[in-house]
Amino acid sequence: MILNKYISHCGIASRRAAVELIKNGLITVNDEPPSHPAYEVKKTDVIKYKGKVIKPEVKKVYILMNKPKNVITSMNDESGRKTVIDLLNNKISERIYPVGRLDYQTTGLLLLTNDGDLAKKLSHPSHKVTKIYEITIDKPLTEQHREQIENGIDLEDGHVKVNWIKIVDDENQIINLEIHFGKNRIVRRIFEHFKYNVLKLDRIYYAGLTKKALKRGWFRHLSEQEIIMLKHFV
């Protein structure tokens, strides 16, 4: 495998960007700068990026799912409910796990992977992974309540402040908001705090990923660029 392709397979950068890393002296082969981006990597070579050994990731799988309603975010369920793993329909041979959770009735973007390091980082509050939800409530959201949510409210487990919130329909019943934390049922609890019932809850954005061309209940592999984007994000 040539060097820039090797770097790409390590999840560091695209092949084109890897050439620039090599030119800028950020890549070494056996502690020496390589002679050319097309250097043929040997099995005995030690490749480093910024002084840290890098190796291609083998059989790492990254799946983006548009989770439907009434499906549990779990590997299995004692009550016999359908799980997100059931939706894969045995089409993925590797054992993968959902990153975080979506409630049983919540729909939208869910990432599944066997990359434990990435999953841990995406789930950790310190990385402030952004999520956007579309919420449908049972009655119009008042401007006063919208402002209160925007400015931050106190729930039973602490203070909660969204990144932003906006009304997206004329009836003031469909709302989009962005958050970067993952407390249990947090979006539903924000509106329940003001006595609104959440009729629909859909995650439409997760860590730079969107539902574009991904129908409800469908899933797809992430592209190479999306994987690199996620790793750089955290």
pLDDT tens digits along 60-100: 899 999 999 999 998 888 888 999 999 998 898 888 889 99
Taking Cα atoms as reference points, which of 201, 213, 234 lies closest to residue 132? 201
What's the chain's length in residues? Answer: 234
Transcribe 178-219 into DSSP letters.
Answer: EES---TTHHHHHHHTTT--EEEEEEEEETTEE-TT--TT-E
Tell me the fold of 62-126+212-233. Alpha-Beta Plaits (3.30.70)
Average pLDDT over residues 109-122: 91
58 pLDDT higher than 70: no
3-state secondary structure string, 57-124? Answer: CCCCCEEEEEECCCCECCCCCCCCCCEHHHHCCCCCCCCCEECCCCCCCCEEEEEEECCHHHHHHHHC
Domains 3-53 and 130-206 share a fold: no
Average pLDDT over residues 207-230: 94
* Residues 83, 77 contacting (CB under 8 angstroms): yes
57 pLDDT higher than 70: no
Max mean pLDDT among 38-42, 52-56, 189-193, 227-231 falls in: 189-193
Q: What percent of the chain has pLDDT over 70?
A: 99
Taking Cα atoms as reference points, which of 56, 144, 131, 61 lies closest to residue 101? 131
The pLDDT value given to residue 162: 96
Give the start-to-end residue ranges of the domains of the chain.
3-53, 62-126+212-233, 130-206
Sequence-distant contacts of 27-30: CB under 8 A, at least 24 apart:
27/3, 29/3
The pLDDT value given to residue 182: 76
Domain 130-206 homologous superfamily, CATH = Alpha-L RNA-binding motif (3.30.70.1560)
The pLDDT value given to residue 150: 96
**Which positions are annotated as active-site residues?**
103
Task: Give the C-alpha separation, 149 to 103, whole Å.
Answer: 21
* Residues 43, 82 contacting (CB under 8 angstroms): no
55 pLDDT higher than 80: yes
Half-sphere exposure for 191 (CA within 13 Å, toward CB): 25
Tell me the fold of 3-53. 3.10.290
pTM of the shown model:
0.74
* Residues 47, 53 contacting (CB under 8 angstroms): yes
